Amino acid sequence: MDRNTIVCILLCLLLVSAGRADNISGNHALDSIIKVALERNPAVHAAEYRHSAFEHQAKFAGWLPDPVLTAGILNLPRTSLRLDETPMSGVSLGLSQSIPWPGKSSARAGIARLDSDIRDMDLAAHRNSIIRQVTHHYYDYSHWMLVADILTESMQLVENITQVAQTRYSTGEGVLQDVLSAETSRARIENRILMARQKASSALVQLAHLTDNPGPMDTSVTPALPPIPLNEIQIPVELSNPILAKASFGSAVARRKLDLAKSQYWPNLTVGVDYRIRKDMPMDAVSGEDFLSFKVGLNLPMWFFARQRNQSAAARQLYNAAQAEEAAIRNSVKQQVADIVLILQSLRQRTEQYESTILPQAQAAGEAARVAYEVGKVDFNGFLSAQLETINVELERLELLKQYHQQKAALDELTYDTQEVIK
């Protein structure tokens, strides 16, 4: 086999390796993992249970307090403790009901409903977070698997280059330095393959954790780094997500608690009825007839100059704090969204530059190095470096794709009310 034929074979191997990522297309592996994670993740289950608990609490929060049933023996003589010595003695049964001042029960019911809404937003936020984490680790896994594939393919290139160097050295046309350089490049690629596979395995461990899988994820999960969509990412005009909704509900709860604190200045009403069972005694004007007693009571807010006033002041400060916290969260989310959009725009531009300029230039440089090597204008190390540089450029492009999809997942978490998952 002559020198030109060997170089042509090496170039073909290089182009196959460099074009490996261009054939990557999307698939349903990510959607399947997300679906399993949402169904099985313990954090999501905990949020579901809390939401359900607050829903049950909201159903009875506005009800009246439980009535009070009392029983007693009244007016017994101290010396005999008998019921049949005086008409005043008797067995009493009573029932009383406390009725809050109008507005108090509705305020408590409103607070409970808002608390249930907050837990609903907690659940949505947990789901969005799980989707973002799964997406992040899936693309991390895909990136390192594809890196390992490209490096594995490039190993064949380096092995053939090493064979060329060894052949030329054995025939006296080459030098030992070329052989050592090629073997060093092969060893370094082997080391990078081991690192890539370790990182891919680490990403699978994270996915197994998110899907509550006690064992490692199936290594047959299809890796994919789809191309960047053509549509530009823009900063949303109106932000709406569970994090912001939760902060808004928090302000509403604080407002209701302020209303409830103000209503504490007004007393609660207590109504009751007692039934006294009596015995017929001599000189009893009603001949032992049972007695009915009706009563109405009010609790007296005697300390409203101290207790209720301070309760109201505390509730107002908490309301102010909730409003300020809502504004701070909204500003923080807006800043995060703006930062991510800028990063995505930069990653898009950089990826387009790699695809339109850097990668073609690297491939052209590799071709030029091949031609120059054939005519003896470039030494062996220059030829080898040019071929490896093309592979490194392709790996850099994969890194940009990974970062883009991971940042897009972070943006989706901040801008989606609820994430739609393929069912």
Domain check: are 292 and 312 in the same one? no
pLDDT, one tens digit per residue, over 51-60 is 999 999 999 8
How much is the pLDDT for 148? 92
The encoded tokens of residue 251 equal: 């302000």
Boundaries of domain holding 272: 65-99+267-300
Domain shared by 282 and 349, yes or no: no
pLDDT at res. 337: 92
Residue 367 lies in a domain: yes
Domain identity same for 147 and 271: no
CA distance 158 to 134: 35
Pair 208, 219 in one domain = yes
- Looking at the whole model, is its pTM more than 0.85? no
Give the DSSP letter string of 231-292.
SPP---SS---HHHHHHHHHHHHHHHHHHHHHHTTSPPEEEEEEEEE----TT-TTTT--EE
Number of domains in the chain: 2
Concatenate the DSSP letters of all residues of 368-415 into one string.
HHHHHHHTTSS-HHHHHHHHHHHHHHHHHHHHHHHHHHHHHHHHHHHH
Q: Residue 53: which CATH number? A: 1.20.1600.10
Q: Are residues 107 and 94 in the same domain?
A: no
What angle do helix axes 176-210 and 104-170 make, rounded to 10 degrees? Answer: 160
Q: Are residues 235 and 137 in the same domain?
A: yes
Domain check: are 242 and 377 in the same one?
yes
> Do 213 and 157 reside in the same domain of the chain?
yes
Q: Do residue 253 and residue 272 come from a single domain? A: no
Q: Which pLDDT value is given to residue 124? A: 93
> Which of 257, 281, 300 corresponds to the end of one domain?
300
Q: What CA–CA distance (Å, rounded) separates 233 from 417?
A: 18
pLDDT of residue 17: 38
Q: Say if residue 5's pLDDT is above 50.
A: no
For 145, 163, 173, 199, 262, the CA distances from 137, given in Å and listed in that order, are: 12, 39, 49, 10, 51
Does residue 257 sit in the same domain as residue 315?
Answer: yes
pLDDT in tens, 53-87: 999 999 988 899 999 999 999 988 888 888 888 88
> Does residue 420 belong to any structural domain of this protein?
no
**Does 392 lie in the same domain as 282?**
no
404 shares its domain with 277:
no
Residue 422 in any domain: the answer is no
pLDDT, residue 19, reads 39
Candidate ranges 152-156, 192-196, 213-217; pick with highest mean pLDDT: 192-196
